[in-house]
Amino acid sequence: MALPMRSLFTDPDRYLQSFRLFLANSTEHQCMQEFMERQLPSVIGSIGNGKSAINILSVGGGAGEIDLLILSKIQARYPGVTINNHVIEPSADQIFKYKEHVAATSNLENVKFTWHEETAYEYESRMSAEKKTKKWDFIHMIQMLYYVKDVSATIRYFHSLLEEQAKLLIILVSDKKAETRRSFTQGHKY
Ligand SMILES: C[S@@+](CC[C@H](N)C(=O)[O-])C[C@H]1O[C@@H](n2cnc3c(N)ncnc32)[C@H](O)[C@@H]1O
**CA-proximal residue: ligand 1, atom 25 (nearest):** 91
149's CB contacts (< 8 A; 6+ apart) are 121
Q: Is residue 59 in contact with ligand 1, taking CB distance under 6 Å? A: yes
Residue 140's pLDDT band (cuts 50, 70, 90): very high
pLDDT in tens, 59-70: 999 999 999 999
120, 126, 116, 109: which is closest to 95 by C-alpha? 116
Ligand 1 atom closest to the Cα of residue 142 is 6
Q: Do 188 and 168 form a contact (C-beta atoms < 8 A)? A: no
Mean pLDDT of 36-41: 94
Q: Is the pLDDT of residue 120 over 90?
A: yes
CA distances from 87 to 27, 36, 57, 177 (A): 25, 19, 6, 29
Of 57, 119, 144, 169, the one to substitute when testing ligand 1's pocket (max ligand atoms within 8 A of C-beta) is 144
φ/ψ of 65, rounded to 5, equals: -60, -50
Residue 3's pLDDT band (cuts 50, 70, 90): very low
**CA-proximal residue: ligand 1, atom 12 (nearest):** 60
Tell me the CATH number for domain 52-186. Answer: 3.40.50.150
Q: Is residue 148 in contact with ligand 1, taking CB distance under 6 Å? A: yes
How many angstroms separate the alpha carbon of residue 59 from the centre of ligand 1? 7
How many angstroms separate the alpha carbon of residue 144 from the centre of ligand 1? 4
177, 185, 168, 167: which is closest to 45 by C-alpha? 167
pLDDT in tens, 152-176: 999 999 999 999 999 999 998 776 6
Residue 72's pLDDT band (cuts 50, 70, 90): very high
pLDDT in tens, 103-115: 999 999 999 999 9
Q: Is the pLDDT of residue 9 over 70?
A: no
